[in-house]
Amino acid sequence: MIWFWLCLVTALTQAVKDVCLKRSLFRMDVGLVVWGYCLSAAVFFWLDVAMAPRPALGPHFWPLLAVGGALGAVTFVLYGLALNRGDLSLTLPMLAFTPLFLLITSPLTLGEFPGPGGLLGVLCVVAGSYVLNLRERRFGFWAPVRALWTDPGARLMLVVAALWSLGANFDKLGVQASSPSFWIASVYTVTAVALLPGVFRAGRGILGRMRRAPGLIVASGLLEAVGLLCQMHALTMTLVPYVITVKRLSVIFGVVLGALVFREPDVAHRLPGAMLMVLGVFFIAVFG
């Protein structure tokens, strides 16, 4: 059961990381926060890489790294904007759509086809997204769906989920061309470099603005590193679907933390929807 506790640590660190990022966004620009977060995470990842022998790199490593880094830069900027513009209890559950999008992207990029059990998971995810805004039902049957799409934070996070479903396939190929730790460290480094032009465009006083929330940004990077490293170790102990399923408990933790830290409304109505979406992830991961 060690793998379960490692995955639980991953879920908790991901949720707390989102709280730190959202808090730092109160004081700084999205571009600066995302860049600082990726840079600090890369530093911690490279510390882990330094303690292991360097892996042999496959012939496709560098093209995959270029694509993964560019995709990461776009995704993390959208991720920061989503956290900044929406409630955690409404934006984070959108990440449960990632396995749904994987049902489309994985067959196209890797030739991996899901089993029939994935259909039940898809239905649970869709139903959970409906329940998130169930209070809007009084305005018509499709009102909860419209409310989900009209919320800017949720809409942006839905795009992030779609991009992550594509990036997950490149991550798998990148890990096969190197090693898990080396690939993660490389991707976060390239992502931080790709974000630099946006940081420079922010103008003068960058370092001064970075001092507004340095602890939160470094903590976000550390939490990301701890969570992903625990996830990698868990993958060596049990099946990948089990790891993914427990990790997605971060959605529920994020909804609860949104209520406790930011006093977000309607959490009692959104939590059942988030739990239903996590259940959908379970069916997709285990039976898909």
Q: pLDDT per position in the chain (288 positions), as tens?
A: 788 888 889 989 999 999 999 988 887 888 888 999 999 999 999 998 998 888 899 989 999 999 999 999 999 999 999 999 888 877 888 887 776 676 666 666 556 555 666 667 767 777 777 776 666 666 565 656 666 677 888 889 989 988 987 887 788 788 889 988 899 999 999 999 999 887 776 655 555 555 656 788 899 999 999 998 888 778 777 766 667 767 878 888 888 888 888 888 777 777 887 788 778 777 766 775
What's the pLDDT tens digit per position in 237-283?
Answer: 776 666 776 787 888 888 888 888 888 877 777 788 778 877 877 77
With respect to residue 7, please indicate whether it lies within any of the assigned structural domains: no
Amino acid at 188: Y
With respect to residue 10, please indicate whether it lies within any of the assigned structural domains: no
> Domain range spanning residue 260?
22-287
Beta strands in 75-123 (DSSP E): none
Cβ atoms of 85 and 25 within 8 Å: the answer is: no
Tokens 């560098």 belong to 62
Tokens 């990301």 belong to 224
With respect to residue 12, please indicate whether it lies within any of the assigned structural domains: no
With respect to residue 211, please indicate whether it lies within any of the assigned structural domains: yes
* Distance, C-alpha 76 to centroid of its chain: 9
CA distances 91 to 97, 178, 212, Å, are 11, 33, 25
* Distance, C-alpha 223 to centroid of its chain: 13
With respect to residue 2, please indicate whether it lies within any of the assigned structural domains: no
Number of structural domains (the chain) is: 1
With respect to residue 8, please indicate whether it lies within any of the assigned structural domains: no
13-45 CB burial, b ≥16 within 10 A, e <16: bbbbbbbbbbbbbeebbbbbbbbbbbbbbbbbb
With respect to residue 29, please indicate whether it lies within any of the assigned structural domains: yes
Q: How far apart are alpha carbons 102 and 30 in whole angstroms?
A: 27
With respect to residue 280, please indicate whether it lies within any of the assigned structural domains: yes
